[in-house]
């Protein structure tokens, strides 16, 4: 009768999350279970059909250990899945940041080239004309010369982190700020 009551509860059909499709009927002594199985040879078969697991103390401990181990592995698996998702998200974000780094480096390089073109124009054309004014009595004081900027931003070197193929970037277009050598 107790086995029938337990089976009728159908815990595995409740919406509390996944549950094993059986219930455990604890028998508090090994000898009690052995005697019951000897006196009723259909007891074990009836229990299995009703999804009731007859458990003596030793069997219950083994079952509980197995369940605990399963929960532990489920937690590890969930953590591994979360780590994989975070890794994928991080990889995508690193790619975005590297794109920004590359565009910023190109912008700095273009700004330095534009500045150096400006300095060349000032030295080669503007100051030549400006130097004639003092000879004609107009203007006074020394003109301050502008110097070229020689250092350019470094490019990301690692091939797998580069956003461009090597053919897309001019050779030595970006120098190492420490040595002045091309990347």
Cα torsion angle, 169, 173, 174, 178, sign: positive
Say if residue 125 is in the same domain as residue 64: no
> Does any domain span residue 36?
yes
Q: What is the pTM of this model?
A: 0.49
CB atoms within 10 A of CB 26: 13
Domain boundary among 68, 89, 120: 68
Cα(149)–Cα(38) distance, integer angstroms: 98
Residue numbers of the domain that contains 142: 101-183
Query: Does 91 map to a domain?
Result: no
Say if residue 131's pLDDT is above 60.
Answer: yes
Give how far Cα 114 sits from Cα of 43, 117, 120, 148, 182, Å.
93, 5, 10, 10, 18
Question: Confidence class of residue 32 from pLDDT cuts 50, 70 and 90?
Answer: very high
Top-confidence residue, 20 or 93: 93
Assigned domain for 74 exists: no
| 105 and 177 co-located in one domain | yes
Last residue of a domain, one of 23, 45, 68: 68
- Model pLDDT for residues 66-108, shown as the tens digit of each residue: 999 999 999 999 999 999 999 999 999 999 999 999 999 999 9
Half-sphere exposure of 28 (CA within 13 A, CB side): 0
Structural domains counted in the chain? 2
Pair (111, 180) in one structural domain: yes
């Amino acid at each position: 009768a107790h086995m029938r009551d337990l089976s009728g509860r159908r815990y595995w059909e409740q919406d509390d999350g996944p549950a094993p499709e059986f219930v455990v009927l604890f028998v508090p002594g090994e000898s009690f279970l052995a005697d019951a199985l000897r006196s009723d040879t259909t007891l074990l078969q009836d229990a299995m059909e009703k999804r009731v697991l007859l458990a003596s103390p030793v069997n219950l401990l083994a079952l509980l250990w197995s369940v605990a181990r399963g929960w532990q592995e489920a937690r590890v698996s969930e953590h591994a899945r979360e780590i994989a998702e975070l890794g994928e998200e991080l990889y995508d974000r690193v790619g975005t940041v590297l794109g920004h780094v590359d565009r910023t480096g190109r912008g700095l390089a273009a700004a330095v080239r534009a500045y150096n073109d400006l300095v060349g124009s000032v030295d080669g054309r503007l100051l030549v004309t400006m130097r004639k004014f003092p000879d004609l009595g107009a203007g006074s004081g020394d003109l301050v010369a502008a110097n070229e900027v020689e250092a350019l931003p470094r490019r990301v070197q690692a091939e797998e982190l580069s956003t461009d193929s090597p053919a897309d970037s001019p050779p030595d277009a970006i120098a190492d700020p420490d040595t002045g050598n091309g990347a």
